[in-house]
Structure 1
């Protein structure tokens, strides 16, 4: 008899709206399989109708236009390997604890996205001199517990980020049309920013002359450093340098001998330059083997370290990454009231017998 094929499955955090975590400790592929790709929704899934295949561009533009799905498919395109990380990834690790989806380490996945550069669409419509931000609305909508009325998921980008050549209106993931649950037929992809910026089920693009202040812009996805005050709040934008020990798992029992410690590192600024490993709780650090810099400017990086466990006992393993801009993963994450941007050392406790 053949042995059964054992596959990892996503971890369900919520059913309505559907929220699922990538089983990151058991998937070592450069490209996350669709079945394991994490899901973060704020509302129930939208209905896909004929209108879903039309994308309007208006506001502070010279020639407002409506783009058809087939029209975008015929335009010059580009393909980018981009990890998407939820700003709340690893929220469960903040101390003191914070409210919100209690993500573990799996609110991140990586895919190959194909689409049209947003700036190509904006050049076709032309920008008014007054243009300041670009607002993106999805087809998904619903109610929030903190506000009256119904809201569409909408976010904005400053004009500079919107005009970056790699900010995409994507229509394909891993060589196929974007799956329905990941934003079919159009999804904004914003490399190097946390994934709240990559609006799904995109229906409209509006250039505005002022600051957009929707609830998913100025209430959610803000860093609030004070527990009981909104003072010093700042917007969540660029992904912070980070790493994860995928194996061994936390609280594993290991035999004496050689063990491969391995994992991932990623950043929103530049590329991963170093990963260091400690097996004694941070007293000493040694360089891990980091895969050569990828030709894909934004992709995550694999690393590994071979450890000789020659003494019985309990050990605390840690990983920390450094990127090409000199940003170093800190020993402790900056606490904030909504639990965004956790990037403290990855910590794993093991026992050797």
Structure 2
């Protein structure tokens, strides 16, 4: 069982409760407990022939669902087949055509739908020209709920799991669309999708201890992780969800062994902003990397890092958001 923590603004509590909760060193949190996959989505692993997915492309290649490992693609994450978004189509007499395509399916979500879980594998051989906007996406009712800029630095090298909060759509009939849009330059990208699932779950309430701050001299409308000294401790390889309801969120984590570190920020609805990663403590921190992609997904990868403490800062340069939590996970290996 996986538990995801999502912070809530203390301002949503009655005002007379605030001094009481902070005096106890408690923060009001949601806990999401996912259960089994729902059956409303058909063939989330793209194994069925014929497929229930409707495919659309701007090229002469009619289908992008299949076993692409013999053509140089990765082995499937689940089963044998998966959906290939992006890429290029080579057919005579048109030659190579840069592909923008999607796979869509319309179905009704259960009333307790909580998350869309999926796996993706990104690869691009060469960086595009300046101004290129190649991007993979997931849309619900033509609204983008997840996006991924196709760049060489964004190559994953393996299948990566991501989740999107779909509770606002629970009980509704939706169109789910996975795909990619590309410019017509010579350097195309590829994002493969597999093992797409609708997860059901529940939202429970509990109280967790947080780092105490001086509430007299701070804005009571923000959660207490607005600077490094207030950073919220999180664990590695554990997905969390928080709200982007202010301009700064700080987190700290610890690794017990040396290795590679990947910080994944997904479903960042404000889009504009960045994530920054340091090694060390607030008193002595060394900058490692940052990602300011104009996208709902921002990823940092650093290799061969020593065991120790690390700091994450999430900067929101877009509109504040009180309803759509972003997902944050630190992967280590």
Please say whether Structure 1 and Structure 2 have the same fold, judged by a TM-score greater than 0.5: no
Give the number of the structure whose residues are more often strand, by fraction: 2
Taking structure 1 as the reference length, the TM-score comes to 0.28
